[in-house]
Amino acid sequence: MFQKLKILNENIDKLDEINDCKFSFENFNQINSQLEKTLFELKSNELSFEKFNFTQDQLNSFKYILNKIEKLDSKITHKANLFESFSKSKT
């Protein structure tokens, strides 16, 4: 599970890099798909999470990742939607 969270965190960082550089809708979609897959896997294992007794550090890591997701969402979603609508209008 913590390996999946590490992957999730790394993909969030990659999306943030895409946002800071020249935005590439293709790269965004690729990394976003990886994020969705990891989140789905974590969600699938949600019931088994209830059996864990998480430490405060682990809970803090969860909160940190959620905070990163919220910040990135506010920065990148609008841009991604604009690119998507523009690319649809060009075809």
Contact residues for 69 (Cβ-Cβ < 8 A; gap 6+): 12
**What's the pLDDT score for residue 31?**
82
Residue position matching structure tokens 């590439």: 24
- The answer to whether 15 and 28 have CB atoms below 8 angstroms apart is yes
> What are the structural domain ranges in the chain?
2-90
Query: Residue 89 and residue 31: Cα distance in Å, rounded?
Result: 23
Query: Residue 29 and residue 80: Cα distance in Å, rounded?
Result: 9
**What's the pLDDT score for residue 75?**
75
- Interval 11-50: pLDDT, tens: 888 888 877 777 677 787 888 788 888 877 777 766 666 6
**What's the pLDDT score for residue 48?**
64
In the predicted structure, residue 82 carries a pLDDT above the cut 70:
yes
